[in-house]
Structure 1
Amino acid sequence: MNTLEKLDLKDPRLYRRKACINGKTYGYLYAEPKEGYSRTVFLIHGFPDLSMGWRYQIPFFLGLGHRVICPDCLGYGQSDSPSGSVVPFSLKSQCTDFHGLAVQLGCQNIILGGHDWGSMMASRFALYFPDFVTHLILFVVPLFPPSSTYCSVSDLVKLQPSFGYMLQFGSDDYEIESHTQSEDGIRGFLNALYGGLTTDGRRAISATNGIDFDIVSHLVPSKLLTEEDLQYYVSEYSRTGLRGPCNTYRVLHQNFIDETPFLSNGGDKKVEVNCPTLFVRAMDDFAITSSMVDTMLPYIPHLTIKEVRSSHWIMIQRPQKVNEIVQTWLQEQGINQN
């Protein structure tokens, strides 16, 4: 197995680049082995994360001889954050953009990975562009198959209370944004999301209610982020704020509309991911239940499931274990180190 390595932004193998795709500018991290590569790994982060969320996986994949591309999703980091309509933030819109980026970089196919909302996007990418994804890796969030009926966030929460936080994150009064206007506000929000605790062990976030901002200022620093990591995140989020990232929770109806061809009569799309797929579940994540995992089983015939004792932030909390699981699975798929 590869030795665990944490990526530094000053790593000479790493390039910070930008590309214009469908009228939007995306920032992305780009790295390739000096010896050349035969495959490209494309990694999509979640909320509230950045391309650097893959800081333990980029060196790992480089060590396996793969080129690695990690974009900042729309509204995050160095990517644009369009105002007005939330449609550009839909899963289909961003999948189309990321496909365009991969093609622009010369990819004929990719190994695709995603975490959290990035996992949602990755599974949709595999549905929209099935011939482009040779292997799919989903962290924490399973495939949620397209539905024939729209379920609003409020109705979803009635069915699944562990999604209650979504009401706050995507609220019409922009509650998250109102508390993250300053660097201190952003720092407190991120510290809460990454597991910061009070001295008596309380969290500022719950699955059912979201963030309790009265507690945020009393949290000690999260153990998952170094001060350098946290300052980098604060700096990146200070550029355009949290409106773009929170739009992820405001675009669910557009996602539903985009996916109707999968289910409508005469639709030419099939709700099935046919490529080999690895799902790595974080057993201590507060939102994902076993029934949610079971729901995806009929839709992914070539599925491998692995479980890791970890919180939501599995790639940075248990990076060695995660990388070992991925490397073993890739070897089982016949993808060996160059």
Structure 2
Amino acid sequence: MTLPTTLYPFPEPVTVPVNGIHLEVFEAGRENAGRPVVLCHGWPGLAQSWREQVPALVAAGHHVIVPNQRGFGGSSRPADVTAYDLEHLTADLVGLLDHYGYASADFVGHDWGAMVVWGLALLHPERVRRIVNLSLPYQERGDVPWIEGMEAALGGNFYFVHFNRQPGVADAVLEANTERFLRNLYRTHRDPAPPGPGMVMIELALAEKPTGEAVLTESELEVFAAAFARSGFTGGINWYRNLDRNWRALAEVDPIVHHRVLMIHGSRDEVRPAERLTDVVPNAEVVVLDSGHWIQQERPQEVNRAIADWLA
């Protein structure tokens, strides 16, 4: 199935076999072979989340590789929940490098994509040259499994916890209201409101009117809605269902990220910067933009300039 095109030129997808599955991959700038950069989307994102960055990075001399990661778009969606743990997600990216013949690459991640890139730096450090991560800072492992800690601090309706403790419930609501959920989620400058008693993602899927300003144009929203109508949300939500599994898997791993890192935050993002970032990522530089959570889509020119200049 070919998705509708956006207003922006975007590469045609190819199917790449990796790690026992296949990924739908969008590639541009092969003439710049030798300078690979891999762009990793978050949840509920797509390769098209980087639609503004692809041409800018190609123009800056990079071979740009943008997968729909497992569970998203036209990529494989294994049925087993454990197939979405950090070991599998990072091995997919290693397989992508092997497919294109690269020993290492620069990696750019946003949201959950940033979490996977941080994990790649820990589990396969030799495959990573440099890192640019947006929104999500490095998450220190701590003494308590992540979901267990979130449940104690934030309660059972916090969406990370809800996804784990009530499997299938949110998936069904989101899939029954795909276009409305995405329309309501991809907003910036939201009206401030105290958190309600329900689960925020379900509430967004059921809300009749969005607040704030749209991040996606109608044609871009059509692309996202068509992709998730096809794939459903369970594959991506399964990433959340492996957080405690990931916590256990990282027990014996060196927790310090030694790579050079550019961390880009949005000043209005609900995901807050890490207070101890340079303690655990000693070679990190930080840029703050006037943005909400969807940084590369809200502030594309500033993000493009920051990434291209830093990589140069």
Q: In structure 2, how many angstroms separate the alpha carbons of the residues matched to 1:95 and 1:127?
A: 10
Q: Once the 2 structures are TM-superposed, how far is the Cα of residue 175 of structure 1 from its aligned partner?
A: 2.6
Q: State the partner residue of 1:265.
A: none
TM-score by length of 2: 0.88
Q: Once the 2 structures are TM-superposed, how far is the Cα of residue 173 of structure 1 from its aligned partner?
A: 4.1
The one-character-per-residue Cα deviations of 1:42-61 (angstroms, maximum 9, x if unpaired) are: 01100100011001111111
SS at match of 2:126: coil
Q: Once the 2 structures are TM-superposed, how far is the Cα of residue 64 of structure 1 from its aligned partner?
A: 0.6
Q: Once the 2 structures are TM-superposed, how far is the Cα of residue 145 of structure 1 from its aligned partner?
A: 2.6
Q: In structure 2, how many angstroms separate the alpha carbons of the residues matched to 1:168 and 1:205?
A: 15
1:169-208 aligned at under 5 Å gives the runs 169-182=163-176, 185-195=177-187, 201=191
The one-character-per-residue Cα deviations of 1:12-62 (angstroms, maximum 9, x if unpaired) are: xx231111212211111111154x333100011001000110011111110
SS at match of 1:260: coil
Q: State the partner residue of 2:272.
A: 289
Q: In structure 2, how many angstroms separate the alpha carbons of the residues matched to 1:204 and 1:171?
A: 24
RMSD: 2.8
Cα distance 1:66–1:82, how it changes in 2: closer, same or farther (>3 A)? same
Q: Is the 8 A contact 1:31 1:67 kept in 2?
A: yes
The one-character-per-residue Cα deviations of 1:122-170 (angstroms, maximum 9, x if unpaired) are: 01111111122111001000011333442434x3144367x92323344
Q: Once the 2 structures are TM-superposed, how far is the Cα of residue 261 of structure 1 from its aligned partner?
A: 2.0
Structure 2 residue aligned with 1:234, among 193, 217, 225?
Answer: 225
Q: Once the 2 structures are TM-superposed, how far is the Cα of residue 7 of structure 1 from its aligned partner?
A: 7.5
Structure 2 residue aligned with 1:37, among 15, 19, 33?
Answer: 33
Q: In structure 1, how many angstroms separate the alpha carbons of the residues matched to 2:132 and 2:260?
A: 9
Structure 2 residue aligned with 1:70, among 66, 69, 72?
Answer: 66
Q: Once the 2 structures are TM-superposed, how far is the Cα of residue 202 of structure 1 from its aligned partner?
A: 7.3
Cα distance 1:197–1:320, how it changes in 2: closer, same or farther (>3 A)? closer
Structure 2 residue aligned with 1:102, among 89, 97, 104?
Answer: 97
SS at match of 2:114: helix
State yes or no: 1:304 paired with 2:285: yes
The one-character-per-residue Cα deviations of 1:177-220 (angstroms, maximum 9, x if unpaired) are: 221334xx10011112112899xx57898798413158522237
Query: Number of matched residues?
Result: 306
Q: State the partner residue of 2:127.
A: 132
SS at match of 1:181: helix
Q: In structure 1, how many angstroms separate the alpha carbons of the residues matched to 2:197 and 2:275?
A: 20
Q: State the partner residue of 1:276.
A: 260
Q: Once the 2 structures are TM-superposed, how far is the Cα of residue 232 of structure 1 from its aligned partner?
A: 0.8
Question: Which 10-residue stretch deviates more, 248-257 or 201-210?
Answer: 201-210
Q: State the partner residue of 2:252.
A: 261
Q: Is the 8 A contact 2:37 2:64 kept in 1?
A: yes
Regions of 4+ moved over 6 Å: 202-208
TM-score by length of 1: 0.82
State yes or no: 1:210 paired with 2:200: yes
Cα distance 1:204–1:49, how it changes in 2: closer, same or farther (>3 A)? farther
Q: In structure 1, how many angstroms separate the alpha carbons of the residues matched to 2:179 and 2:288?
A: 30
Q: In structure 1, how many angstroms separate the alpha carbons of the residues matched to 2:14 and 2:265?
A: 31
Q: In structure 1, how many angstroms separate the alpha carbons of the residues matched to 2:66 and 2:194?
A: 29
Q: Is the 8 A contact 2:104 2:126 kept in 1?
A: yes
Q: In structure 2, how many angstroms separate the alpha carbons of the residues matched to 1:221 and 1:238?
A: 24
Q: Once the 2 structures are TM-superposed, how far is the Cα of residue 272 of structure 1 from its aligned partner?
A: 1.7
Letter of the aligned partner of 2:278 in structure 1? L
Q: In structure 2, how many angstroms separate the alpha carbons of the residues matched to 1:100 and 1:187?
A: 33
* Percentage of matched positions with identical amino acids: 24
Q: Once the 2 structures are TM-superposed, how far is the Cα of residue 91 of structure 1 from its aligned partner?
A: 1.6
